[in-house]
Structure formats: structure tokens, C-alpha cells
Amino acid sequence: MSHVVNLSIVIPAYNESRRLGPYLDNVCAYFDHRGDLYEVLVVDDGSTDDTADVVIRSSARNPAVRLIRLSENVGKGAAIRAGMHEARGAHCLFADADGATPITEVSRLEAALRSGAHMAIGSRRLACRDARFQVRATLHRTVIGNAFNVVTRLMGLRDIRDTQCGFKLFTKAVARDLFSVSRINGYGFDLELLFVAQSRGYRVAEAPINWVDQPGTKVRLLRDGVRTVGELLAIRRNLALGRYEGGDAPEMTTEFIPTVLQK
């Protein structure tokens, strides 16, 4: 693409051949209708199924879709980091391949950036408080998620109600900065981004979004929850040791001011 790309959408995918194709069709149809210059970067995280072939067929129909292949399965955080390093958009979004969050919800995050946020994150917890939004999640996911949010607050992450929603939008400069210093390869990468954003003084906005749990999830709540707590401890240690200093931070004078955006 020779023109400036408005938005880069990074989608990590591990053995997503069944769910990925329809979601890519939805993403491309939405942004084509808007008339945006966009790119979709699908990062195949060492899949053993036909995920790469699905992306190649989608790219043949729409050249905005690009495939990035990792030689082995290294984790969601590492896959998104690889995609963000290749992203060229003025804004950068990552979204889960299962389509639990409809791509149309990106407009809520874009509104947050236009209002002065540097990073906007989808929030299921905010949406649950508003009858205008639909959030469908299993009971055990909800219970464990609530408990995990308590742990993150106790560990020092302020004012974020939903840390793990896989739908986050950044300005290009902030994405470049955060992903240049990120280290966590697993599901704890969301926490790492938020902790570093907080330490940098970035303005983070939460926006309520529609979200529906999809069958076939790769997340094993108890097993992956324990691993993520371990990654949280590693993040706190990295912060204490100054391992997130440096990077490509743009000049900043703002404080960390979480913003809640309503519909």
C-alpha cells in the first residue's frame, strides 16, 4: 500500500481455521463500507491446522489481508507483538480471531481516541451495567474474571475494570512504544501493556462493548489463570527492576486519567 493506512487490525490466530474465515469477511466488509485505508495482519502462531490457508484465500479476495507466520506456537502476547511490529496504521487495533467482539465496536474505541485517550480498551464489565449492551459469558468465566480483577487491583493496576478483553486500540506512537518493551508472551501481556501504560502516564479509556462468548475457546480458565498470575508477578518484578524503561515513547506531559465512555 502506497497510501497512509488509517488502521491496522492485528489478529492472533492459533488453530483458527474454522472461525477465522467468516470473521475476516466481516472485518473487510465493514472497513470497505467505511471507505477506510486499512490492513488486516493475521499472525499465525504456529498453527497445526489450515489457518494459514484460510488467510491466504482471504488475501486473494482482499489484498488488505496479510499473513504473518510464526514457526512455532509462542503465545498470544508474542503473536500480537509480532503483528504490531509490522503494523503501518495511524491507529492499531488487536482483536480476537473468534469474533466475540463484533468489529463494529471499534467505533466506540475510536471515539475514545478522538476524545484524547492514547489507548482505548473494550470493557465487558462496563457493558454489563448498561441494558443497551449485550454481554454473554459463562458463569465460571465471569466468576474467575471478577476474582482476577481483584488481584490486579491489589497488585497496583488502578481503575481498570476489564483488563483481559481482547479488543484494544492504540495510537501508532503508543503502540510502538508499548510493544517495543513488552516481554510477556502469554495471556498476561494485556496486564503488561496496562501496567506500562500507567507508568508512562498514558491516558487509558474503557468503553463498554457488546461481547458474546464463542464456542471453541482456547482459554483454560484455571490453568491459564494460574499462569497469568505468575506473569503478573513477573510484570511487577520487571517494573521494580526498571526493565520497561526506554522504548519509543512519544513526548508526554499528561497524567494517567482513566476515562469511561458511554454509548
Q: What is the per-residue pLDDT across 238-254, written as a single tens digit (0 to 9) for each?
A: 999 999 998 765 543 33
Q: What is the pLDDT of residue 133?
A: 93
Distance between CA atoms of 204 and 120, rounded to whole angstroms?
A: 6
Contact 43, 85 (CB under 8 A): no
Report the C-alpha gap between 10 and 262 in whole angstroms: 25
Neighbouring residues of 257: CB distance < 8 A, sequence distance ≥ 6 = 203
User: Which pLDDT score, from 0 to 100, does residue 215 have?
Assistant: 78
**Listed residue (144, 215, 203) closest to 171, CA to CA:** 203
Given this structure, which CATH class describes domain 7-260? alpha beta
Domain regions of the chain by residue span: 7-260
pLDDT of residue 203: 97
Q: Kindly give the parts of the chain with pLDDT less than 70.
A: 1-2, 139-148, 216-225, 248-263
Question: Could you tell me which residues come within 8 angstroms of residue 69 by beta carbon, excluding any fewer than 6 positions away?
Answer: 43, 44, 52
pLDDT recorded at residue 99: 94
pLDDT in tens, 178-204: 999 999 999 889 999 999 999 999 999
- Residue 221: its pLDDT value, please? 55
